[in-house]
Chains A and B, each alone.
Chain A
Amino acid sequence: MGAGHGHKLHFHGHSPVHRAPAHLKVLALLAFAVVVVATPRDAYALFAAYAVLLGVVIGVSRVPPTYLLKRTVVELPFVVFAVLLPFVATGPQTEVLGIGVSQHGLEAGIALLVKGTLGVLASLTLAATTEPQDLLVGLERLRVPQQLVQIMAFMVRYLDVVGGEMQRMRVARESRGFSARDPRHWPVLARSAGALFIRSYERGERVHLAMLSRGYTGRMPAEDSRPGVSGP
């Protein structure tokens, strides 16, 4: 059930999209992504259709579009790349707003932007409507190898812990008058990252010790103990 304030990407709700089984949602996302990527890049009508379809799903899920749009910032590096493409690509030239750019580069850039945005939005919709725990159970049902699911489970579990540690380190840095305003401060950030890595590594060791102490022998106990699979 969860406490309703799960992960940062998760938007609590009870829409049909929220309630749909996680493994179906994962499959749907996968299929959607493959189809979008496989579509020829000049089939703009199709892309419009995909966008409408995605819009309908988001509408049904009642997740506010602004909530999703704010989180599309992860796409930023790709956007930069897509914007650069028309300038660095070679081939026949064309003019946009009086600036000469590469015809191929322009098309490739637009296609990259459109496909990327569709994929990111669809992924965010999945994340917003599915609790991380359910997602893991869904992946397990899709027969994703145990080890991979376990690694993801550890990530979900410790993301907040490591995030909290990072936050505390930042507060401790800033409490001593530090702020990373220019590149001269980057070495400090790099050392913080290193310290965080060591701390996380040591925590990993301690978690492993605690697991060994409870009889762990290198294999997770069978499905029964997986959250959501057993019990009421």
Chain B
Amino acid sequence: MSTPVLDVRGLAYAYPDGHQALFGVDLHVHRGERVALLGPNGAGKTTLVLHLNGILAAGAGTVAVSGLSVEKAHLAEIRRRVGVVFQDPDDQLFLGTVRADVAFGPANLGLRGADLDRRVLHALEQVGMEEYVDRPPHHLSFGQRRRVAVATVLAMEPEILVLDEPSSNLDPASRRELADILRSLDVTVLMVTHDLPYALELCPRSVVLSGGTVVADGSTYDVLTDDALMRAHRLELPFGFDPRTAVPRPCGGGAAVDSLQPTPTSEEYP
């Protein structure tokens, strides 16, 4: 098989205070996949995410992005390849205008002038926010800020988009709009989430992280219908939601992306 976009092997990490968060994590994500990273609070999901772009350095084990190992020497390229969208858009959007914020990443990559402007506008078009380009981010609604936060990372043309709780605090309409956007993007996605229906809707594959190790890796449908596994790792479906009877979303928007997926694992909805 081709080089995985994300290749994590035996990753272990302990925080400086001695608290160990990861105990040997193995994870491979291939091009075009959309993978959900599930797990209870404190499972080490955020710690794992911070290793993917080299914010934290592995205590043991390796992380490689498209064959390039995550280490100090090529952090700049790693951070171009891995786009992390953090949970709170107010953490991500820190400049005075949407334009400046979206331009921040690509400008750090050395883009200037017309090229930079094109990148910015294209990224904003991808999330449907192009008309807000000259607005200050703090005047936008929360859902709009979340979308701009996604654009700030898309503007760097990452190989993998890592989203931390993308649906948190969104109203149902914004949540659906974001799902449509994510489906329309031609990019590999790793999505950390507690929103299990969202995972089922968007990600054919799910990985469950619990107690600092990967305890399950399979089709989202199989994971969510494995009652014993779910109970053992404090995962719960929202009241009234049953993946067995959930209606799969009619295919649309993401046809080009779907054709890229090398492992169509979860087309076995009933």
Contacts and interface: CB of A to CB of B under 8 A. Distances in A.
A225 B79 contact: no
Interface in B70-93: 76, 79-80, 82-84, 86, 88, 90-92
A2 B107 contact: no
Interface stretch (B32-40, B97-105, B215-223, B251-259): B97-105
Interface size bracket, B side: 35 or more
B227 interface: no
B86 A210 contact: yes
B138 A221 contact: no
Nearest to A136: B96
A215 B108 contact: yes
Interface stretch (A91-99, A116-124, A149-157, A185-193): A149-157
A217 B108 contact: yes
Interface in B6-59: 50, 53, 55
Contacts of B112: 222, 224
Q: Which of B53, B107, B135, B156 gathers the greatest number of chain A CB atoms within 10 Å?
A: B107
Given A215-B76, A216-B108, A209 B50 contact: yes
B108 A210 contact: no
Contact of B99 (A2, A203, A231): A231
Interface in A178-232: 203, 206-207, 209-217, 221-222, 224-228, 230-231
Interface in A1-19: 1-3, 5-6
Given A222-B112, A224-B107, A226-B100, A214 B117 contact: no
Given A2-B136, A216-B104, A231-B133, 16 more contacts: A153-B96, A157-B94, A157-B95, A158-B94, A209-B50, A210-B91, A210-B92, A213-B55, A213-B86, A214-B156, A221-B103, A221-B107, A222-B112, A224-B103, A228-B97, A231-B134
